Amino acid sequence: MQIQTVVTQPFLDQKPGTSGLRKKVRVFQQAHYLANFVQSIFDSLDIPPNATLTVGGDGRYFNKEAIQTIIQMAAANGFAKVLVGQHGILSTPAASHIIRTYHTFGGIILSASHNPAGPDDDFGIKYNTDNGGPAPEKITDAIFALSKHISQYKIAALPAIDLSVIGTTQLEGFTVEVIDAVRDYADLMQSMFDFPAIQRWLADGHRMQFDAMHAVTGPYAKEIFVNRLGAPAASLMNCEVSENFGGGHPDPNLTYAEDLVKIAYGEHAPDFAAASDGDGDRNMILGNHFFVTPSDSLALIAAHAKLIPAYAQGLAGVARSMPTSGAVDRVAKALGIECYETPTGWKFFGNLMDAGRVTLCGEESFGTGSSHVREKDGLWAVLCWLNVLAASQQSVESLVRAHWQTYGRNVYSRHDYEGVPTALANAVIAHVKAQFATLPSQVFGAYTVAQVDDFSYTDPVDGSVSANQGIRILFACGSRIVIRLSGTGTEGATIRIYLEAFTEDLAQQQRDAQDALADLILVSHHITQLPQLTGRQQPTVIT
Ligand code: G1P
Ligand code: ZN
């Protein structure tokens, strides 16, 4: 095999964010940009002999070219084999499953998740370790450090691999295997859930609608919902993967999944509706005229886990990211199991799962998952709900209302201000930090500040500390305001304000979240001075 050593210059902006390196496609298309980062990943690893690398992406624009480069670089850097999804496509949870099932030496996942795709939009790349989960900070920090000093990379002169055909190609001691990852993943789901009960629920006349948002879950959804569970083909929408995700923004929330929301809130609405994002790890759950917040969804799945065959023996523990509401904490308390509070981002759940401390985990950002893989998993969450609906014979709305009655309701909303100039976003954070000493015990109407801090997490498994993970303003009544800057954007800054108020009052539980949180929203504006400092009066997205 002919291996070329290419001389290169470092790029200084290759710092992985919340979930890998995300940049505009045009940035990745600069000569050597992708190769520099891939070499930095490989240089951060101690690649053992005969190692296999999993490679796949969400199918977005630039996916195919990037995969050919990664295959050639894997060959040059000592990997013996690459496993790649057919057409270069693997959903993020399916990639995690492949890494775990075939014991590969980690994998490279190409995705910018829910960010729009196309020549003028976003691309992303991240490395997952051999447990199937996103690389921990010590590896992503090492990758960044290497990327700042890189002077050369290695690439093999190989012919382009035909990724459309399932099968194996041998190239002078190096193997590329194109695999059918849909079947492996569907088999895993079938082994975890009560498929016969869901089939009966559908055959009884219940209706579901799933929106793949023109992104990666389309082929998986066809196999699972139509071929294996017998749902009519019309239950699926936007299930053809396109390189620009149909020109849309494949983020399953009330703003961007509007086609599905119209159906769920329309005449003859289905009993259950759900959507998943660009790379298949997020989910949105809707009932007939009813939206389930991701924080409530996690809590409800935990409370009903025993109805799901995979969790019939109970849960080891649960975890949620710090900005996620405390709804699941209440379920954990009732179940007598541990609940962990981690920083934002899936990478913090891996250690807890590997140590057997946690079975279920989730984030307010439409991510829910379990220890079956080491990524959040959109279709898995949809199947959890279908399984609970079928086993309980209740509607989505009645399940959630009964949950609130039992545990109380953590009324919750997140307000995002996207595309804010970085200097102004930093000014908002600095303004709040400057009040750390004076805020405690201040009274804002019904809200008295009890504590203010910048969240810091000490991993209970390996003792590593992650500081500066978001500002928490905790009130005496248990309500919270959390403020942090996004680590996944590619343009300017996104300020996220998370609002949470707890109520056991039944009348309060019926209220619309924005109404119920109106006073807290005003308090957040007062403390952050966000409207004055940024000129923004309204959030870009409310979830
Ligand atoms: C966002 C979400 C976070 C999630 C990440 C990857 O990160 O807030 O919960 O893990 O996307 O899907 P952020 O942009 O807030 O850093
Ligand atoms: Zn995603």
Answer whether 496 contacts ligand 1 (Cβ < 6 A). yes
Q: Does the domain spanning 409-542 belong to CATH 3.30.310.50? A: yes
Q: What is the pLDDT of residue 181?
A: 86
Give the DSSP letter of residue 370: E
524 lines ligand 1 (CB under 6 A): no
**Which pLDDT score, from 0 to 100, does residue 507 have?**
84
What digits encode the pLDDT tens for the residues 14-56?
999 888 999 999 999 999 999 999 999 999 999 999 999 999 9
| 483-504 pLDDT tens trace | 999 988 777 899 999 999 998 8
- Supply the pLDDT for residue 542: 93
Mean pLDDT, the chain, rounded, equals 96
Which atom of ligand 1 is closest in space to residue 321's alpha carbon? 9
Q: Lowest mean pLDDT: which of 208-222, 274-288, 319-333, 503-517?
A: 503-517
- The pLDDT of 317-336, averaged and rounded, is 98
* DSSP-assigned letter for residue 124: E
Is residue 254 a contact partner of residue 245, using CB atoms and an 8 Å limit? Answer: no
Q: In what order do the strands lie in the sheet with 480-485?
A: 443-444, 447-454, 471-475, 480-485, 493-503, 409-420, 541-542
pLDDT at 491: 79
Min mean pLDDT across 143-147, 228-232, 488-492, 527-531 is at 488-492
Q: Tell me the DSSP string of 29-96.
A: TSTTHHHHHHHHHHHHS-PPTT-EEEEEE---TTHHHHHHHHHHHHHHTT-SEEEEEEEEE--HHHHH
Beta-strand pair 52-57/107-110: parallel
* Confidence tier at 82 by pLDDT (50, 70, 90): very high
pLDDT-derived band at 320, boundaries 50, 70, 90 = very high
| Pairing state between β 465-466 and 541-542 | unpaired
- Does the Cβ of 486 fall within 6 Å of ligand 1? yes
- List, in sequence order, every residue forming a beta bridge with 4; answer none if it has no partner: 155
Q: Which residues pair with 495 in a beta bridge?
A: 417, 485
What is the per-residue pLDDT across 492-538, written as a single tens digit (0 to 9) for each?
899 999 999 998 888 888 889 999 999 999 999 999 999 999 999 99
Atom of ligand 1 nearest to the CA of 489: 14
Quick one: which atom of ligand 1 is closest to the CA of 345?
10
pLDDT at 492: 87
| pLDDT of res. 506 | 85
In the CATH scheme, what is the code of domain 3-179?
Answer: 3.40.120.10
Catalytic positions, written as ranges: 113
User: Shortest CA distance to 215 belongs to which of 286, 82, 121?
Assistant: 121
Instruction: Assess whether the C-beta atom of 324 lies below 6 angstroms from ligand 1.
Output: no
Q: Where do the CATH 3.40.120.10 domains begin and end in the chain?
A: 3-179, 184-407
Lowest mean pLDDT among 307-321, 334-348, 477-491: 477-491
pLDDT digits (tens, 9 = 90+) for 438-484: 999 999 999 999 999 999 999 999 999 999 999 999 999 989 999 99
Instruction: Select 184-407's CATH number: 3.40.120.10, 1.10.3720.10, 3.90.245.10, 3.30.360.10.
Output: 3.40.120.10
Residue 49 CA to ligand 2 centre (angstroms): 32
How far apart (Å, rounded) are the C-alpha atoms in residues 27 and 231? 42
Q: Where in the chain is the domain with CATH 3.30.310.50?
A: 409-542
Other beta carbons less than 10 A from residue 138's beta carbon: 10
**Predicted pLDDT at 489:** 75
Residue nearest to atom 1 of ligand 1 (CA): 488
Asked whether 363 lines ligand 1 (CB < 6 A), one says yes
Ligand nearest 377 Cα, by number?
2
pLDDT of residue 137: 87
